[in-house]
Amino acid sequence: MFLLYSTVQAGQSGLIGEWQFVESSFPLPESCRSTICHFAANGVFLARDGRYEERKRYAEKSHREGFLVEFQYLSNNGQKNCQGLPANYVRTNTIETLYVQVMSTTRIKVYFGPAEMEHFIIFARRNDK
């Protein structure tokens, strides 16, 4: 069963706001540099990755040096992502539980699973929070 409510009070999480892709531990096309993720206080997550856009519900709970974030897919726009992968492939191959390490108030490191792993992506908070 998916947890729909965060253990962190709405609007209190360090994740709330827009985050811009900065770097990754693995090679990605230059087009992925424009990736933006938005965590809304109402529990909705929006991502723009190339022409691909998706909406998910998210819930986070405090975990180690950040948050364990669980996602529940809502919709996407059917376009390919910045890696050229079809929307259906992205949907069926997305990891739904991520560990987000808070590096500072302006940087987060997203691991592709519930713990620190070899591969990660770093995002920087956008000024228009």
Tell me, letter by letter, the H, E, C secondary structure of the chain: CCCCCCCCCCCCCCCCEEEEEEEECCCCCHHHHHCEEEECCCCEEEEEECCEEEEEEEEEEEECCEEEEEEEEEEECCCCCCCCCCHHHHHHCCCCEEEEEEEECCEEEEECCCCCCCCEEEEEECCCC
pLDDT in the model for residue 10: 42
Q: Where are the domains of the chain?
A: 17-125
pLDDT in the model for residue 12: 53
pLDDT in the model for residue 28: 93
pLDDT in the model for residue 128: 56
Q: Name the pTM for this structure.
A: 0.85
- Residues of the chain short of pLDDT 70, as ranges, are 1-12, 128-129
pLDDT in the model for residue 127: 79
- Give the domain 17-125 fold: Lipocalin (2.40.128)
